[in-house]
Amino acid sequence: MALPRPVVICGPSGSGKSTLYNKLLKEFPGVFQLSVSHTTRQPRPGELNGREYHFINRDQFQENIKQGDFLEWAEFSGNIYGTSKKALEEVQSNNMIPILDIDTQGVRNVKKASLEAVYIFIKPPNIDVLEKRLRSRKTETEEALQKRLSAAMSELEYGLKPGNFQHIITNDDLDVAYEKLKGILIKMIDEVKNEQYKP
């Protein structure tokens, strides 16, 4: 059997993309697995190396970039984040569908790598709802919030451009959005399950 195709899930902060893919991981534990990214940032309290991220230093990261180990990488707030080819292959070798949670910059890079992926964009109903969701988190300064909103605008512009994504889901109602996501992936889910349960 061919390796399971990765699922690229993209959307601005506050679109609810991580809530949606976490529901997939919970409902189909042996089918999907989140591809763990690498980062140069310091671990936050409670984070474990290899679970939330693979934490490596900047020199090592840049060496890996030179060696072509990364499918995509980007720099935010002085830290580098990226998806390694190895992390993706590890998930696929277990006959599971890798989920890649990446931004639009990452999507552009992954597309250059000719990855046979399913590209899904999660969008909020409108920018006001997005702002309300981000403000309700109460985790950021006004300046950081404005930066996120500005980034969200450019992500939405790219995400809604015809041809950039195969599927666009509006996350207005979480349950409805989740059913749509499941509907898009159900054929792949069945294929993986059938392969896993072959005698």
Catalytic residue among 5, 58, 133, 137: 137
Kind of pairing between the strands at 38-39 and 54-55: parallel
Residue 51 has a CB neighbour count (10 Å cut-off) of: 11
- Ranges of beta strands (E only) in the chain are 7-10, 32-34, 38-39, 54-55, 70-76, 79-84, 97-101, 118-123, 167-170
DSSP 8-state secondary structure symbol assigned to residue 139: -
Q: Which residues contact 167 (CB under 8 A, 6 or more apart)?
A: 118, 119, 120, 121, 184
- Establish whether 108 is a catalytic residue: no
Catalytic residue among 44, 51, 108, 135: 44
What is the spatial distance between Cα 52 and Cα 47, in angstroms, rounded to a whole number? 6
Catalytic residue among 5, 58, 108, 148: 148
- Establish whether 148 is a catalytic residue: yes
Q: How far is CA 9 from CA 67, 98, 135, 180, 181, in A?
A: 26, 10, 23, 13, 10
Catalytic residues: 44, 137, 148
